[in-house]
Amino acid sequence: MAFVQDAPKDSFRLSMLIYDTRYRSLTIQVVVLILFMLFLSWLLNNTIQNLAAKDRTFDFGFLLSRAGYDINQRLVDYTNDSTHARAAFIGLLNTLLSAVVGCVLATIIGVVVGVLRLSNNWIISRLMTVYVEMFRNVPVLLWILLAATILSETTPSPRDFRVTPEMQAADEAPKASMLFGIIAVTNRGTDIPEPKFCIGKPREECDADPNEGGLGTIDLGIFKVSLNLLALLLVFGGSIFAARRLKQQADATQDATGVRPVTWWKNLLILVLPSAILLWALGLHFVVPELKGFNFTGGITVLHSFTALTLALALYTAAFIAEIVRAGIMAISRGQSEAASALGLRPARTMRLVILPQALRVIIPPLISQYLNLTKNTSLAIAVSYMDLRGTLGGITLNQTGKELECMLLMMGIYPTFSK
C-alpha cells in the first residue's frame, strides 16, 4: 500500500515578506504603523521644543486654578471663584442640554414634515417643500442670529409688565402681560415657574431658602444630587417595572384564552398615581415669577441665547431629517400600503403601524449622523453669547490661561467622546 507524502514546506525567507501574498499585506500594515508612530513622535518632540523655546510647559494644572468669570446660565452651582475645570463642566452640561433638546425637537418636526411632504394635499406638500429647501440652503449660523434677533427685538421689556398707580386709576392694562398668568417673556429671557419642595415648614420659608427643600441634597463635590429627584426616579422606575409585569400577565391571558384584558386604566394608575403621591408628600409647589424692581424674580429664567440656539438648530436639522424620513418611506414597497388598505386600515394607522416601522432600518443610520451634526453645531453658541463648552473651555479659559494647545486637545477629546 503506497503512502502519499506531503510536499515539503518552504522554509521562511525574508523575501517572502514582500513577494509572498500570505505576508505582504501584514508587512505593509506594519511599515505604515511604524511610519505613523515616527511621525507622531516627531510631531510631539517638535511641539515640546517649541514650547520650551517660549518658556512654556505642557500641563493641565490650569484646570485647578480660579476661573474668575461668570456663566449666565448653568444647571449646577457655580461662582466666579470656581475652578476652570468646573467652568468647563458647566459648559459641557450646557452643550449637552442644547443638543438633547434640539435633537428631540428636530426629530418631532422632521418626522411630521417628512410625512406631510408625501401628502396628497398639494398645498401642504408644497409648503413642507418650501420649508425644507429654505432651511437646508441657508447657513445655520444665520438662522441662529435671526432667531436671537427676533427674540430680543420683538419681545417686551420688564417695565412693560408694570402697572403704575396712574394706570390703576385709569383702569388701564399694562403694555404686556404674562402668558397664562405664570410665564413672562421679556427681551432678557423667558421666566417660567420653578418647582420647589417643602416638608414641615411654611412655603414662604422654603421659597426664601436657595437650597433644595424636601429631602435635601447630597454634595458630591462636583455637583449636588437631589434626593427628591432620586426618590422620584426610583418610584417611577418601580412603576415602569410594575406596568411591564402587568403587560406580561395580559399577554399570558391572551395566549391562554384568546381574549385581551383591558389594562390601559391600570397602566395609567400604575404610572401616574405613585409619582403623584410622592410629589404631594414632598410638598411640590411652583414659584411663579414676580416683577420686583427692574426685573422678574423667582422662577427659572431661560435665556434667549439658549432658546435661539436650540430652536435654530432644531429647525435646521429637522429639514434634513424630513428628507431622511421621506426617503425611508419611499423605500418601502407600495404593496405594503395597498395590503394595509385592503385590510381596512386608515391611512394614518397604515403609516404608523405598517410603513414607519419598516422604514426605520433605512432612517436610523443617517438620522444618527444628523444628531451628531446638531451636537457639533452647538459650538456656534458663542455667536449669541451662550456659554457652552466652546465658550468656556475653548473661549474664556483659553484666553485667560494661554493654554491653547491643552484646551484644544481637551475639546478634541470631549466632542468625539460624547458623540459615540
Q: pLDDT tens, position by position, for the chain (420 residues)?
A: 455 555 555 676 777 777 777 778 888 888 999 999 999 999 888 888 887 888 787 788 888 899 888 888 888 888 888 889 999 999 999 999 999 999 999 999 999 999 999 888 889 999 999 999 999 999 999 999 999 999 988 888 888 888 777 777 777 777 778 888 888 888 888 888 888 888 777 777 666 666 656 667 776 666 677 788 888 899 999 999 999 999 899 888 888 888 888 888 888 899 899 999 988 888 888 888 888 877 888 788 888 999 999 999 999 999 999 999 999 988 888 888 888 888 888 888 888 888 888 888 889 999 999 999 999 999 999 899 899 999 998 889 999 988 888 889 899 889 888 776
pLDDT digits (tens, 9 = 90+) for 338-358: 888 888 888 888 888 888 888
Rg of the chain on CA atoms, in Å: 30
In the chain, the N- to C-terminal Cα span, in Å, equals 65
**By C-alpha distance, which of 73, 95, 296 is closest to 187?**
296
Q: How far apart are CA 177 and CA 196, in angstroms?
A: 24
Q: How far apart are CA 73 and CA 417, in angstroms?
A: 24
In the chain the domains, ranked by start, together with CATH numbers, are: 84-193+288-418 (1.10.3720.10), 209-287 (no CATH)
Q: What are phi and psi of 381, to 5 degrees?
A: -60, -25
Local structure of 403: helix, strand or coil: coil
Displacement of CA 36 from its chain's centroid (Å): 36
Between CA 335 and CA 339, with CA 337 as vertex, the angle to 5 degrees is 65
Amino acid at 374: L
